[in-house]
Amino acid sequence: MKTLEFYRNLPEKECRECGCKINEQHESYLYECEHCMNKHEE
Ligand SMILES: [Zn+2]
């Protein structure tokens, strides 16, 4: 499989808290968007 096709087939990650799309620039192990992660820090 070509690398380009592999990335194209990846499902878009969604925040498990609010369901919004997670920016792919974030680390791949994140399951929550920036907004929800900030809430946990309070
Ligand atoms: Zn969220």
How much is the pLDDT for 7?
64
Q: Ligand 1 centroid vs 38 CA: distance in angstroms?
A: 9
Other beta carbons less than 10 A from residue 30's beta carbon: 15
The string of pLDDT tens digits covering residues 17-39 is: 999 988 766 555 678 888 888 88
Domain boundaries, the chain: 3-40
Q: Ligand 1 centroid vs 21 CA: distance in angstroms?
A: 8
How much is the pLDDT for 13?
83
pLDDT tier at 5 (50, 70, 90 boundaries)? confident
Q: Ligand 1 centroid vs 25 CA: distance in angstroms?
A: 15
CA 40 to centroid of chain Cα atoms: 17
Geometric angle at alpha carbon 6, from 22 and 33, rounded to 5°:
5
Q: Ligand 1 centroid vs 7 CA: distance in angstroms?
A: 23
Higher pLDDT, 28 or 15: 15
